[in-house]
Structure 1
Amino acid sequence: MTITYEWRGEFENAPLNALHAEGFDHPVLDIDWRAQLHRHSLGWVCARDGGDLVGFVNVAWDGGVHAFVLDTLVRADHRHRGIGAALVAAAVEGARAARCEWLHVDFDDELREFYFDACGFRSTEAGLIAL
């Protein structure tokens, strides 16, 4: 298995919709990810095994110094091989190269070990309003 990672990598909507549906356990939706990401994101990282999209992470931003990790996804049959951590590492480098000063992430409690131990995030105080 040779996984490649590409900052702002090219992708088609259908494979990303399928990966998102699998990762977040919902039906496959018809989202125009290409338009959405080009409009709102600093960048994203695509992980490929051969030509197949097996991982993805989105890096949204405020247009300034704050970037945000969203939608870290690894295809089920490729999990527990370090692909997620490598995706986030590539996202860190992309945000750093864009001169961001902070990279934020929020996550469900079961992902605490992944983001803190495998990816190097640290705990901070934050607030949240469910809308």
Structure 2
Amino acid sequence: MASVETSLKEAMTSIEGSVGAALVDYTSGMALGTLGGSKDLDLTVAAAGNTDVIRAKIRTMEMLGINDGIEDVLITLDTQYHLIRLIKSRGGNGLFLYIVLDKNRANLAMARHQLKRIEAELEL
């Protein structure tokens, strides 16, 4: 099992094209840990904004009567992928892993696979 810090380091080193990673509590919108980012990518602001995305999706699913769980959410920009993976492990209710990828360097399928593995090893 891996700590939050170790998991974020693993995301940044094992996922090709990683620009930044965060563990976020979507009940509060707070980042519990961040790594990477840049002057143009404030992960704390992104964590709060992506909290709204997850809340809206959960609310919409409830209104539609969809009882499936959300595995991940992908937001594709011109130059980046923003991948949000909800934590399903014990103690992870209300949390998601968030990673920003450089679109030109990333392999999206491998990034999803790696993020799933990192989530499974995360100890909360």
After TM superposition, the score normalised by the length of structure 2 is 0.29
TM-score computed with the length of structure 1 as normaliser: 0.28
**Structure ID, larger Rg:** 1
Q: Higher relative contact order at CA 8 Å, sep ≥6: structure 1 or structure 2?
A: 2
